[in-house]
Amino acid sequence: MAVLLVATGITQAHADDLTQCSQSFYGGVYPEFTNTKLKKDTQALCMDGFAVMYSGVSRTPLWSAEHLDRTRLQQAKQIDREDSFHEESKLPKSARASLSDYSGSGYDRGHLAPNANMANRSQQYDSFSLANIAPQSPRNNRYIWRNIESATRYLTQQYGEVYTITGVAFTDKKTKQLANRVLVPSHFFKAVYIPATNQAGVYYAPNDESERIDVISIDELTTEIGIDVLPMLDSQSKSQAFDLPLKAGESSDTPEAPVEEPEWMLFVWAILEWLIAQLQA
C-alpha cells in the first residue's frame, strides 16, 4: 500500500482510552494496525455514540466505529438534522482540520459515523466534529455512500444489531491535499458485521465520481489498507464476504412490498372525498 504522509507533531497527551468506549467494538476490541507506519501521530477519541482513530498526518479519521441496534435507530429518527461542523477541541491545534481547509475545495465534508445514526443531540453534535470527517467526492457522498448507509440501517432493523467500522484508505502513489493540510483519501470503506449470522462484509469504493463500489471480505480489506478492523472475528468470517445489499431492502429476506390499490379503487376514493367535501361545505 502506497501512503504519502507527512508528520505534524501530534502528541498523545489528550488521547482517550478506547476501553472507555468498548461498546462500540465487537468483542470490545478495537481495530489493529497491521501496517505499523499508519500509527504515526494517531489519536484515539471516544465520542458520544461512536469511537474514532484520528490521524494528525492526514488530518482525517482513519476509522470511526459504531454499534447499531433497533432502539438506537428508532431514537435517531426522532431528531432532525442540525448541521454543526466544528473543529475538534480534544485535538492539538497543530493536528486539527479546520473549516477553511474544506472551503471551495470541491470536496464534501464526508461523515464516517453518519449523522442519521445518532440517537440524541450530543451524539449528533459529535458526528459533525471534523475528527469524524474526511474529504469525499460529492457524487460518492450524496449517492453511493448515502445508499450504503441506508442499507446498513436496514440490516440493523432486519437482524437486530450490527457493528460497523467506517474508514478511509490512502493507496494512490500521489495523494491530493486540501489547503496543503488535509489529505484526500483514495477510497472509503464501511465494514459491517452481523452477530446474528456471524457474517461480515465490506463496502469499498474509490473516492471519485465513478459510482463504483465493491463488496469485499475483511481479509481483503486488511490487505488493502493495513488495518484489521474486526480483530475478534474468526478466520472463516474474515475470509468470506457477506453479500451486502447496495440499497436498503435489497435482500432475499426483504419483506414483501405493500400491495398498491388498483386504479378503480383510487377513483372511488376520489369520488367519496369529493362528496364528503360537498356535504361539509
pLDDT tens figures, 196-248: 999 999 999 999 999 999 999 999 999 999 999 999 999 999 999 999 999 99
User: 190 forms bridges with which residues in the sheet?
Assistant: 166, 203
Per DSSP bridges, beta strands 182-183 and 177-178 are antiparallel
Active site residue 111: yes
| pLDDT of res. 278 | 57
Task: Say if CB 80 and CB 124 are below 8 A apart.
Answer: no
Alpha-carbon gap, residue 3 to 189, rounded angstroms: 16
Band of the pLDDT at 250, cuts 50, 70, 90?
confident
| pLDDT of res. 258 | 37
| Angle at CA of residue 222, ends 20 and 181, nearest 5° | 70
Q: Over 90: is that where the pLDDT of 55 sits?
A: yes
Per-domain residue ranges of the chain: 18-280
| pLDDT of res. 69 | 98
Q: What does pTM read for this prediction?
A: 0.84
Topology of the domain comprising 18-280: Extracellular Endonuclease; Chain A (3.40.570)
pLDDT tens figures, 67-106: 999 999 999 999 999 999 999 999 999 999 999 999 999 9
Band of the pLDDT at 261, cuts 50, 70, 90?
very low
Higher model confidence: residue 2 or residue 89?
89
Map residue 135 onto helix, strand or coil.
strand
In this structure, of 6-20, 46-60, 89-103, 185-199, the range with the lowest mean pLDDT score is 6-20
Per DSSP bridges, beta strands 187-194 and 50-55 are unpaired
Q: Over 60: is that where the pLDDT of 269 sits?
A: no
Strands (E), 137-264: 161-169, 177-178, 182-183, 187-194, 199-206, 214-216, 227-228
Distances (CA, A) of 254 to 40, 99, 100, 162: 44, 41, 44, 17
Q: Which residue do the cell numbers 488495518 mark?
A: 227
| pLDDT of res. 234 | 97
User: Who contacts 153 (Cβ-Cβ below 8 Å, separation ≥6)?
Assistant: 68, 73, 116, 117, 248
Helical H runs in 128-226? Answer: 138-139, 145-159, 218-225
Residue 115 assigned as binding residue:
no
Q: Which residue do the cell numbers 458520544 mark?
A: 48
Map residue 207 onto helix, strand or coil.
coil
Active-site position among 67, 86, 111, 187: 111
pLDDT tens figures, 166-179: 999 999 989 999 99
User: Who contacts 276 (Cβ-Cβ below 8 Å, separation ≥6)?
Assistant: none
Band of the pLDDT at 249, cuts 50, 70, 90?
confident
Higher model confidence: residue 9 or residue 128?
128
